[in-house]
Amino acid sequence: MTSEDKQLIDVARQARQHAYAPYSHYRVGAAVRTRNGRIFSGVNIENAAYPTSICAERVALFKAISEGEREFDAIAVVTENGGSPCGSCRQVLAEFGLHIRVLIADTQGQQIRETTVAELLPEAFTSTFLQ
């Protein structure tokens, strides 16, 4: 693991502390790194009306996008048991690049898996289908 990847996982681990998960108690932290090295963190935020909840991965991405970023290198996802991004998060990640590396780690900061969006979402629906 590179020092940059360790830093990304550490940011996701620290962010996880701020997750709002009173229903599932499944706290998730995420951190996305842009191609120019900026890092944005996010946490899952639950709601009593379950469909209105949002995942940590999308929070991190949306924060970066709202700041003008469009090119991403990697995202780290930290959960207690190494859970993988959900289908909605995979689709949002695919919008910005199938090449994006996905680092999955536990709460101790141990990387469990490294993959890409393309591997997580084979045959992704992308903008190429809309041309």
| pLDDT at residue number 1 | 83
Q: Of 4, 46, 57, 80, which is the active-site residue?
A: 57
Q: At what angle do helices 56-66 and 87-95 cross, to 10 degrees?
A: 20
Mark whether 57 is an active-site residue: yes
CA dihedral (55, 105, 36, 90) positive or negative: negative
| pLDDT at residue number 105 | 98
| pLDDT at residue number 131 | 84
Ranges of the chain with pLDDT below 70: none
| pLDDT at residue number 61 | 98
| pLDDT at residue number 62 | 98
> Other CB atoms closer than 10 Å to residue 107's CB: what's the count?
15
Q: Which domains does the chain carry?
A: 3-130 (3.40.140.10)
Q: How far apart are CA 46 and CA 110, in angstroms?
A: 26
Q: What is the pTM of this model?
A: 0.95
Percent of the chain with pLDDT over 70: 100
Condensed to tens digits (0 to 9), the pLDDT of residues 92-116 reads 999 999 999 999 999 999 999 999 9
